Structure 1
Amino acid sequence: MYLERLHIEKIRNLETVVMKNLQPFTVLYGVNGSGKTSVLEAIHILATGRSFRTHMPKHYIQHHAPHAIIFAQTHADKVGVQKFSSGEQLIKINGDRVATQGQLAQLLPLQHIDPLTTDIIDHGSKPRRELLDWLMFHVEPSFYQVWLHYTRTLKQRNSMFKHYKKPSLEDLQPWNNLLAEYGEQLHLQRVAVFMQWQVFFEQEVKKLLPDLVLHLDYTAGFQTEIGLALLLEQQHHKDCERRYTEHGPHRADLKIKTEHGDATDMLSRGQKKLLMVALKLSQIAMLHASNKETVVLLDDITAELDCAAQQRLLTRLHTLGSQVFLTTLDDAIVKQHLHDLCISYQMFNVHAGVVQMQPSTPPEHE
């Protein structure tokens, strides 16, 4: 689903932005604080319902504005979201109101690649689990409903520990049964998708980190040989003491291993950045193999990656058929890359929240 037109209102310093006739690659350039990343943020809000900068809509909606609007048009669909500072939202697809963000997310698979951050690798299991579940959402049709059932049941079980000091095993049994049922389903779905993902991951690592041998491991979050139902019974007293559910797919994780230990400990900062890119690219490649197009937000490409890595990344995204929105301080070098790679692109200058299309002229060779 390529975006052909984008309309943004009242997002940070972006008053009104209209971008038309969008190409496979859109380059946003300007000084720091001009609003480049805010354009990416708006696309992210449209596709996922949330910002990658803050969890609070009032922090990205312009001060004193009652709401923000992001609207996009593709060849086949018109999609839009209206965000209110209260946290409420209105979502429409082709003029019809839809109930959940998931319906919009299905239409617009989106990956955010930020070479400045290695959070997925360094900051606990949650971002890695979310990375896997993003892939699950787009390749396993029944995943989202199973995940919803599991999450709601987990919330109900945990609330029992908060309302009752030591709920009995009998009191918890209905929640244990449901949690085990949905949890086992969730685990089996994750295993099946993970096995496919491993193949794509190893291919991308060979391209970006050819001198390293890396392996991706999945841990379930519970002892699968025992089974979740029996484990919940065995851990009953400990869960009562902790007052929350310790074991289950909500504690699943991905481990990235080198020949000498965990990637977190063994890789340099530069290697971690390329590894993070490889993780995202492998997911895009897996969707591409299923004939699903991905929109990619690529923030500050020239800040952290060297020239060779920049070209490899742009070449790979072009090969995978992704539509790319990228920001940079150095428009000349990005323009040169895209010209050398024969990639169609469109340049937009961003200054003080104003986004203006620039004429497409060939770069000047030294």
Structure 2
Amino acid sequence: MHLTRLNIERVRNLTTVVLPSLQPFNIFYGENGSGKTSVLEAIHLLATGRSFRTHIPKYYVQHTQTDAIIFAQASQNKIGLQKFSSGEQYIKVNGDTVATQGQLAKILPLQHIDPLSTDIIDHGAKARRQLLDWLMFHVEPEFYDTWQLYARSLKQRNTLLKTKQKLTLEQLEPWNKLLAEYGEILHLQRMSILEQWKPFFEAELKALLPDLTVHLEYQAGFHVDHGLLNDLNHHHQKDLQRRYTEYGPHKADLRLKTLMGDADVVFSRGQKKLLIIALKLSQIAMLHASNRETVVLLDDLTAELDLTAQHRLIKRLSQLGSQVFLTTLDRNAVEKHLKDLTISYKLFHVTSGHVQAVEE
């Protein structure tokens, strides 16, 4: 879904922003602190219900205000989100109130690419699981329901582990069976999607890091040869001591392996950034292959990528049919890339929370 119009109210220093006639590429330039990234943050909130800068709503709802509103329009859908500083939210799709953020996320597949960040590689398994599960959510129809059933079973089991000092295996058995059933299904779904994802990743990696080889290796979070139920039964005493379920898909990881070792150890900072871009581009490419286009938030493009990498990334996003919202301090460099590639774009100047379209 490509957005044609975006309205933002009371997100950080953005009091009222109205952006009509959006294009395939939308460029926001201005000084640091002007509000450029807050525009991207608002779009991220709309699509996911979360900020990529903080998990506390009162920090992105404008100071002294109780709520923020983001509304977007596309050719076939109108979607809106009202987010309160308390954390409550209301979501509407085409005028109808919907119950879950997942319904918006399905309509608006969104990727955030931050050239400054290497978190996916450097900061533990959670970010890599989230990367894989984003793809799962958008290409595996049964994933979301299965994950919800697994998450509920996990919550119930963990509650028992925390509140009961003495639990027999028989008392845990119903939850062990449910957790194992849904966990094994999740594992098979992830393995299937990973195999489909690999050729897309290899193609994007070859374009960005042609001299390097990286393998995606999925670690299930339990001993696959014995099965999840066996792990839950066998280790229930340790879980009781930890008061937490140690084995299952919630502990899975997506390792990035090279011939010399894990990418987080052997790659330079610059290589890690290009590797993350290759991962995200390959997911966008996989959705594009099934006729689904992705909205991409590209924060501070010119900060750490050289001109060749900037040009290659912009060109590839255009080829994949993505709609891009891009921030930069260097308007001229970005405009040159877009003009050289004959890509349609709209330019917005951001100053002190005000966003003004620049007429060419």
TM-score, length-scaled by structure 1: 0.98
C-alpha separation between the residues in 2 aligned to 1:70 and 1:258? Answer: 42
Where do residues 199-214 of structure 1 align in structure 2 (5 Å cutoff)?
199-214=199-214
Q: What is the identity, as a one-letter code, of the residue corresponding to 2:338?
A: L
- Kindly state the Cα deviation for residue 166 of structure 1 after the two structures are TM-superposed: 2.5
Query: SS of 2:218's equivalent?
Result: strand
- Kindly state the Cα deviation for residue 214 of structure 1 after the two structures are TM-superposed: 1.1
Where do residues 90-101 of structure 1 align in structure 2 (5 Å cutoff)?
90-101=90-101
Identical amino acids, percent of aligned pairs: 67
Give the unaligned 5+ runs of structure 2.
none
Where do residues 94-243 of structure 1 align in structure 2 (5 Å cutoff)?
94-243=94-243
CA offset digits 1:282-326 (Å, max 9, x no partner): 000000001001000000000010000000000000000000000
Query: SS of 1:7's equivalent?
Result: strand
Match of 1:250 in 2: 250
C-alpha separation between the residues in 2 aligned to 1:195 and 1:221? Answer: 18
Give the unaligned 5+ runs of structure 1.
361-366
Verify: 1:260 aligned to 2:264, yes or no: no
Query: SS of 1:301's equivalent?
Result: coil
Structure 1 residue ranges, 4+ long, deviating more than 3 angstroms after superposition: none
C-alpha separation between the residues in 1 aligned to 2:226 and 2:41? Answer: 43
- Kindly state the Cα deviation for residue 243 of structure 1 after the two structures are TM-superposed: 1.2
- Kindly state the Cα deviation for residue 167 of structure 1 after the two structures are TM-superposed: 0.9
C-alpha separation between the residues in 2 aligned to 1:274 and 1:298? Answer: 14
C-alpha separation between the residues in 2 aligned to 1:64 and 1:267? Answer: 45
CA offset digits 1:184-243 (Å, max 9, x no partner): 010000000011111111110000000111111111000111011111111111111111
Query: SS of 1:79's equivalent?
Result: strand
Q: What is the identity, as a one-letter code, of the residue corresponding to 2:112?
A: H
- Kindly state the Cα deviation for residue 32 of structure 1 after the two structures are TM-superposed: 0.2
Query: SS of 1:304's equivalent?
Result: coil
C-alpha separation between the residues in 2 aligned to 1:79 and 1:106? Answer: 12
CA offset digits 1:88-135 (Å, max 9, x no partner): 101000000000000010000000000000000000000000000000
- Kindly state the Cα deviation for residue 345 of structure 1 after the two structures are TM-superposed: 0.3
Note the aligned Cα RMSD (angstroms): 0.6
C-alpha separation between the residues in 2 aligned to 1:48 and 1:241? Answer: 35
Verify: 1:68 aligned to 2:62, yes or no: no
C-alpha separation between the residues in 2 aligned to 1:213 and 1:225? Answer: 28
Match of 1:287 in 2: 287
C-alpha separation between the residues in 1 aligned to 2:265 and 2:351? Answer: 40
Match of 1:364 in 2: none
Verify: 1:359 aligned to 2:355, yes or no: no
TM-score, length-scaled by structure 2: 0.99
Q: What is the identity, as a one-letter code, of the residue corresponding to 2:282?
A: S
